[in-house]
Every structure is written in C-alpha cells, then in structure tokens.
Amino acid sequence: MRHRLRIAAALGVAACVALFVVALRFDDGLPGAPLSTSGLPSTDTGAGFPRRAVDSSGQEIWIDAAPQAIGSQALTLDHILFAITDPERIVSVSPYAMDPGYSFVHEMAREIGLTPSSDLEAVLRAAPDLMLLAHGAKADLEDVLQRASIPTFRVRTTFADFDQVSEAIAAVGSITGDEAAAELEIRRLRERVERAKRRRPPGARAPRVLPYSTYGSTLGRGSLFDHILTELGAINVAAEQGIGQYADISGEQVAAWDPDWIVTAAAHGASGQARDQLLADPGIAVTKAGQNGQILVVESRVFTAMSHHAVGLMEAIAAGIYGGGP
C-alpha cells in the first residue's frame, strides 16, 4: 500500500513548489564524462529488507520494505525502471519520458498516465515512498522532497562505458528490490554488446569515424560514444584529434580530419534531411565520408540514449560500418 503524505508536511512544502520546479532537470544529454562515484548501493549482509544503501553522493539511506510507489526525475532512470520493475509501482517520471523524440517508454508512460516530475506539487500528492534522482540533481529539489518525508536516492545518469551503465541498473535494482530483473537486464546488455562487436570482420582495418551533429558538435575522449567506437575496433576521429568529451567544430576542421565515416543524429523520419544538410557544407562534402556516401544517420533518441538503450547506437554503428546480418 502506498504511503500518504502527512497533511502537515504537505502544507509545509506547498509554498516552496513554485520556487523549486526549475530544479527538475533533464540530466541525460549527449554521452558525456564519467562521474567520480558509481551510485552502486552497498547493502547489508542478507537478502531482502530492511536494507542500507549508499547513493552516488555518499548519502546513506535505510529502506524498511521494497518501495511500492517509485518516482523518477531523469530519463535514464525512467528507462531503467521500466526495464526492471512492475510499471504499477511507478508513480512519477521525468517529462522527457512522454516525449517520443527521446523516450523508449513514452507509449507506456502515457497509457499509465504517470505524473511528470516537473510538476512538483503533483509529485508530492502522489507521495512516492522512493524518489530516484540524477547524480547532478539540484540540492534544493532533494531538500523539498525530504522535508515531505520522501526518501531520495541519487544514481549516476551519465556514463563513459557500459560497465557504468550496468552499475546504474544494479543500483536501481538493489534499492527497489528488483535485483534479479536488474541482473537479467545487465546480462542482455552485455550479450548485445558482444554481438555488435562480432560484426567486425577479422583483420578489418580500423575505420576512422567522426560523430558530428547538424549543429556542428562532436564527441571525443571520455564520452560513451568514444567507448562504443573503441569496442567496435574503430577510431574516434574527434578523440584522435585531442577533443574531450564534447566540443563544437567547424566544417573546415572536418575536412582537414577527413573521416571515413560520419555518424549523425536525426528525428525519426528525417534521415534524408539530416544527410542533405551535412552534405550542403563543402567541408563535409569533400571528405571520404561525403564522397563515398558514408554518412550514417541514427535516430536521435538512440544517439542520445544514456541507459541500456545506448547499445542500440552501438548496434547501428556496427551494422553501418561493417554490414553483416540483422
């Protein structure tokens, strides 16, 4: 049975709602650098509840029983929750969970009619018995929730590799009591990674691949994209040229670097438009990628995914540059 907020607590925070709505942020952008802590809970000896866990900020939390009304503040956490727990236990998701441009769970989230975490007053009325926050969520938001007697737990939501993705899945599984489902999801993720790696023909030359958006940005060393290319035996041209996790570059720089492949993102159904937009830039058109038609367009929600769904980007790149079976 879901816990209800005490009336006094609800009244005490109601006046703060308008001030702290802005604290609910979309923390899952393009693949970025790792955080210093993993967010993997350490639990006391023995299975089941009650249990102790330490979140990615070092905060300790005691959970008396498996939470039955779980809220999420970030799209990464939405994706993990829907993968490992009963949707009936979810009461709140990030507003991006409803957006088909970013979300892999938008249909189910809309069908259930979940409360968006951007509506803090509605979140308080829903009275979750656990609220999952991104590692970088603002302290003001956490303070409001805790004043309303809602336990909070921070989890890493940006990753440099798939081990960190697996750690986040394990963290959510441990704090929610869904360890077995989390382990299964991690196993599926690892199997898909290995299948994608096997697409590379034995002895194949390492292709030089540049991630490049239609806005002129790229992803270099320390990004999940860089990890994916390395795992596939490809060279990330941005990292090769000394670019960090994210930077804006010009078409002239792309021309000078002359990648074999360019990987970009586009909304569903807009692949041709994105490809044409890139080729309209003379700096792109003169590259090997432009001359040989080797511009791979990936759906935006796959390109930007920061969860187990990011393996879809790896699969798309592997299929694009190496070909092979489905």
Give the β-pairing of 235-236 and 217-218: unpaired
Which residues, in sequence order, are bridge partners of residue 116? 93
Q: pTM here? A: 0.85
To the nearest 10°, report the CA torsion of 110, 115, 119, 125: 160
CB 208 within 8 A of CB 231: no
Question: Matching CATH topology for 7-192 and 201-322?
Answer: yes
Q: Supply the pLDDT for residue 22.
A: 30
- Domain spans in the chain, listed from the N-terminal domain onward: 7-192, 201-322
Residue 229: per-residue pLDDT: 98
CATH superfamily ID and name for 7-192:
Nitrogenase molybdenum iron protein domain (3.40.50.1980)
Tell the CATH superfamily of the 201-322 domain: Nitrogenase molybdenum iron protein domain (3.40.50.1980)
pLDDT of 20 reads: 29
Cβ atoms 75, 26 nearer than 8 A: yes
Task: List residues bridging with 298 in a β-sheet.
Answer: 265
Residuewise pLDDT in 10s, the chain (326 residues): 433 333 333 323 333 332 223 333 334 433 333 333 334 444 333 358 898 899 999 999 999 999 999 999 999 999 999 999 999 999 999 999 999 999 999 999 999 989 999 999 999 999 999 999 999 999 999 999 999 999 999 999 999 999 999 999 999 999 999 999 999 999 999 999 999 999 999 999 999 999 999 999 999 999 999 999 999 999 999 999 999 999 999 999 999 999 999 999 999 999 999 999 999 999 999 999 999 999 999 999 999 999 999 999 999 999 999 986 44
Backbone region of residue 140 per phi and psi (left: phi > 0; alpha: psi in -120 to 50; beta: other values): alpha
Which single residue is written with the structure tokens 């995914």?
305
Quick check: 27 and 37 in contact, CB under 8 A? no
